[in-house]
Structure 1
Amino acid sequence: MRIVLPITALLLVAGCSGADGGQADRSATPSQSSSSSSSAPPKTSTTSPVAVSAPPQGTPIGAVIGWVEAGKPADLAGFHTANRDGATTQLNHGVAFTTPSGRTTCMSGMTAFDDGELACLTQMSEGPAKPAAVGPDGQWIPGWIDYPGDTLTVGGLHGDPGQFGYGTGAELSYGQRLRFGDYQCRTDQIGLFCVNYAHQSGVRISDAGVQPFGCLRAVDPGADELVGLKFGC
């Protein structure tokens, strides 16, 4: 029998930290010389430069993926466990990680039956409202995010913490990226960015909400789906 645990407590495992930082693009114009025979022609690049700043809303998915991939790779071996109250759980093929602020924690599926789908819990300053169809039973979690790749839902009705009952994973430091299954995620001070290669989709998760990329578009979840927001390809 599953033990019911308060989900909101899982979001308080670490304090908030981090500050916004500014970055500037640099450009250069190659000098020209007609008098020196030893001057070599300026080199040109055949690839587009990767943006220094995190991708804003509306950025094409290829550029989002490029920015995520430009992060510093993290060792996946350090993210196969979850910790809760001093107890460590091995997640087998599952992956768990937490942002440096402690406001978002994510975990992938641990069995072949869930295809390694990614779920996250985040503390949102103003999450989606509880649907009218949700009754008094269960617990409405506005910051529960399910991201299988071709869909993205925000907010859900949960009577127990599910996989998050195991606790939280290791910290994924700002600027680091983590590749697992069809996913790759990179942390930034303005939010967590994750992309799904199989469906060419992406999402930014922060306390301000979610920002979809790629094929994901807002759709009506319907009365039978007890979620706050839904995006689909």
Structure 2
Amino acid sequence: MRVAWLISILLLVAGCSSSTDGEAERITPIPPNSSRPSSSTTTPSTKAPTKPPDPGAPVAEVTAWIEAGKTVDAAQYHVAMREGVTTDLGEDVAFVTPSGKTNCMTDSKYSGGALACLVELTDPPPRPAAAYGEWKGGWVDFDGTTVDVGSVHGDPGRFTAGTGPQLPYGQAIGFGDYQCRVDPVGLYCANRAHNTAVRFSDAGIEPFGCLQRVTAPPDIGEKFSC
């Protein structure tokens, strides 16, 4: 009896040991959770506008596109040339687009530094009946709050000095409250003081921001105002 009892005890101990060993073999360490998302986040980069703004675009979009251009040194544009004669413009600036269709200049002496451009418009506004003097349908004045297209000028005025250096495509120039950038589709100029902008091209004058078409005075062809 005692022998049988001992055999039973040994068999029971062996069974428990085998069961424990098998359980130990099935236990494997838990690997680190490698699929846990990283705590770092990637912020999308803000890309500069790549194409000129369309008519009716928000003025912020126009300004951003202008500012994305490569800025030139405005000191190079304080002169104008005519028939081989160079005129120092002092504080004023002058430049012409590569197409030669838009010639711009400021005049701090008579207009407080407002921008004026002579544009070879395909369809300039006709001369009003009440306008007396030499009519220039492509003369555009942009002071920030108004745009006048077509006006009377007995002489070239500020443009007597000729034209400024060429402003290359894709480049921008800043002066006073203005920032301008030229593109094959036209010249874009923004007035930062009044948050307005204008596109000058032979196809026409396109205002942005608060500038809206209004009834023009008797001696002005077209007028936009805030």
Asked if residue 124 in structure 1 is aligned to residue 126 in structure 2, the reply is no
Deviations 1:171-192 (A, max 9, x none): 0000000000000000001000
Separation in 2 of the partners of 1:35 and 1:75? 54
Deviations 1:78-111 (A, max 9, x none): 0000000000100000000000001110001133
Structure-2-length-normalised TM-score: 0.81
Structure-1-length-normalised TM-score: 0.78
Matches for 1:136-215 after TM superposition, within 5 Å = 138-215=133-210
CA contact (8 A) 1:118 1:147 kept: yes
What is the aligned partner in structure 2 of residue 60 from structure 1?
58
Specify which structure has the bigger relative contact order, considering alpha-carbon pairs within 8 angstroms and separated by 6 or more residues: 1
Asked if residue 232 in structure 1 is aligned to residue 225 in structure 2, the reply is yes
- Change in 2 beyond 3 A, CA 1:35/1:208: farther
Question: Unpaired runs of 5+ in structure 1?
Answer: 1-33
Separation in 1 of the partners of 2:111 and 2:121? 26
- Change in 2 beyond 3 A, CA 1:217/1:48: farther
Separation in 2 of the partners of 1:84 and 1:95? 15
The CA deviation at 1:64 is: 0.9
- Change in 2 beyond 3 A, CA 1:176/1:40: farther
- Change in 2 beyond 3 A, CA 1:48/1:216: farther
Q: What SS does the aligned partner of 1:66 have?
A: helix
Separation in 1 of the partners of 2:102 and 2:39? 51
Higher helix share: 2
Aligned structure 1 segments of 4 or more residues deviating by more than 4 angstroms: 34-42
Asked if residue 97 in structure 1 is aligned to residue 92 in structure 2, the reply is no
Q: Which has the larger radius of gyration?
A: 2
What is the aligned partner in structure 1 of residue 42 from structure 2?
43
Quote the RMSD (CA, aligned, Å).
1.9
Letter in 2 for 1:230: K
The number of equivalent residue pairs is 194
The CA deviation at 1:122 is: 0.9
Separation in 2 of the partners of 1:156 and 1:180? 24
What is the aligned partner in structure 2 of residue 87 from structure 1?
85
Q: What SS does the aligned partner of 1:62 have?
A: helix
